[in-house]
């Protein structure tokens, strides 16, 4: 679970309702409050996926990983962005990294298999 920080819980909740622009705004506020908050940067990346801003989404999740390399969710989301860009081999590699930190996460295993199938 992400550490308590203004905006973290709110951005995650908004994201579950599909309010991408609001999530990005809230994540930006959390990042201003704590620039080293890996979870806020990951939330921003996820928010940017919705409107199709994959380049910026990838930058955000990579910054999240840079701040906290063991953040399995950020690695998983990196895989999502790479898949959406059609970069299946790299998406698989990102899920492998995610599984190093969260080997019991069924969604990550599912995504890894899905990306492998798409990769042919």
Q: Which residues contact 60 (CB under 8 A, 6 or more apart)?
A: 41, 42, 44, 45, 48
Tokens of 28: 């930006």
Cα–Cα nearest to 30, from 17, 51, 38, 100: 38
Tens digits of per-residue pLDDT, 86-105?
999 999 999 999 999 999 99
DSSP type of residue 17: T
DSSP type of residue 2: P
State which fold the 8-119 domain adopts.
Answer: 1.25.40
Domain boundaries defined on the chain = 8-119
- Residue 40 and residue 5 in contact, taking contact as beta carbons nearer than 8 Å: yes
Q: What average pLDDT score do residues 38-53 get? A: 89
Looking at residue 25, its pLDDT comes to: 76
Confidence of residue 36 (pLDDT cuts 50, 70, 90): very high
The predicted model scores a pTM of 0.82
């Amino acid at each position: 679970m992400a550490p308590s920080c203004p905006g973290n819980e709110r951005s995650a909740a908004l994201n579950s309702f599909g309010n991408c622009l609001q999530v990005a705004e809230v994540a930006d506020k959390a990042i201003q409050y704590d620039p080293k908050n890996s979870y806020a940067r990951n939330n921003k990346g996820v928010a940017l996926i919705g409107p199709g801003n994959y380049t910026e989404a990838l930058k955000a999740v990579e910054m999240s990983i840079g701040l906290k390399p063991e953040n399995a969710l950020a690695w998983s989301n990196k895989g999502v962005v790479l898949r959406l860009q059609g970069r299946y081999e790299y998406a698989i590699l990102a899920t492998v990294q995610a599984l190093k930190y969260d080997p019991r996460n069924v969604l990550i295993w599912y995504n890894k298999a899905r990306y492998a199938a798409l990769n042919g």
